[in-house]
Amino acid sequence: MLKSMIKQREGLLAKLVAAIFLVGALAGFVSPETALAAGHSQESEYVMPDGTVGTNYDRNFFCSHNGVDDTNERISDLRVEGDLPEGLNLKILHRDPVGDYFKVEGTPVKEGEYKFSLIFLSVSDQLPAVTNTRWNWTMKVNPSQDPYSDDKDHDDHDDDDDDDHHDPVNWSTDSLTVRYFVDGHYATNLKSGKIQQGNAAKAIFTASKPAGWTEAFSFNLSFDDKTDYTLKNGILTLYIPSDYIKAGRQYALMGMDQGGQVHIYSDTDAQLGTVTTVPLNLQGYAMELIYKD
């Protein structure tokens, strides 16, 4: 009798343990919070391009996993720690279908060196777990600069030779969203905008344009607010302004090197709103968007 009761209790206990294990396993399997809570963390250091007191500042910063563009990155729970320069604002912008990015914009009002951190959560199509990210940023704001020289003779300079001349960019209206990915990182010091090239450069671009294609606009690639002929050998993506987007339209980029030779780069992505070159491989900075209907 006693042995029979012990066996019954052992059987009930075994069933109870098995049931608890099964429920726990099912709960861990069906609960998305379990996977999301696991997640992982990453921390990076960035030096932002300098700003200038009284001058409009506009930069885009993109979040991606291992440099993969089409991860459909979604960002949430943004916090800022430290001293964001007064006059600048930070916001999340949404791009379909390739995810979100940050924009830092405004007009700095006080010179100095600033350190601040962005803490945010993100999730992508390629990573099921939430990523807890901290970006530590350092930024310098320079004193305001009088755009006019005290040298009264500066207006008398001969401006007939305009081979390298181009009109200045109005960053509030002409800025473009351009990404440059090289050596495993996005170049946060890249700035670009529509610009009128000099007469010689315009003529070379027009003469080099393939038959049947139309010139949209020219733009320069500026790193740390400087244009030069250093080799750009990364992946360049231009986000096409909405005025030029049309279903079925083909896009390409032209780039002029230091010898005046124009290179044509086919669009390597399948997105309607972007044109991507892989790789750019250009010793220059002047570029032009062209399209064909």
* pLDDT at residue number 163: 45
Q: Of residues 236 and 21, which shows the higher confidence score?
A: 236
* Residue 48: per-residue pLDDT: 81
Query: pLDDT value at position 21?
Result: 30
- Average pLDDT score, the chain: 76
User: What confidence tier does 141 reach under pLDDT thresholds 50, 70, 90?
Assistant: very high
HEC readout, the chain: CHHHHHHHHHHHHHHHHHHHHHHHHHHHHHCHHHHHHHCEEEEEEEECCCEECCCCEEEEEECCECCECCCCEEEEEEEEEECCCCCEEEEEEEECCCEEEEEEEECCCCCEEEEEEEEEEEECCCCCCCEEEEEEEEEEEECCCCCCCCCHHHHHCCCCCCCCCCCCCCCCCCECEEEEEECCEECCCEEEEECCCCHHHHHHHHHHCCCCCEEEEEEEEEECCECCCCEECCEEEEECCHHHCCCCCEEEEEEECCCCCEEEEECCCCCCCEEEECCCCEECCEEEEEEEC
Q: What is the mean pLDDT of residues 23-48?
A: 50
Highest mean pLDDT among 70-84, 136-150, 202-216: 202-216
Is residue 212 over pLDDT 90?
A: yes
Is pLDDT above 70 for 283?
yes
Mean pLDDT of 250-273: 92
pLDDT at 33: 32
Please indicate, yes or no, whether the overall pTM of this predicted structure exceeds 0.75.
Answer: no
Q: Residue 69: is its pLDDT beyond 70?
A: no
**Residue 173: predicted pLDDT:** 59
Q: Evaluate if residue 113 carries a pLDDT over 60.
A: yes
Q: Which of 26-35, 104-113, 128-137, 151-160 has the lowest mean pLDDT?
A: 26-35
Q: Rounded mean pLDDT of 177-188?
A: 89
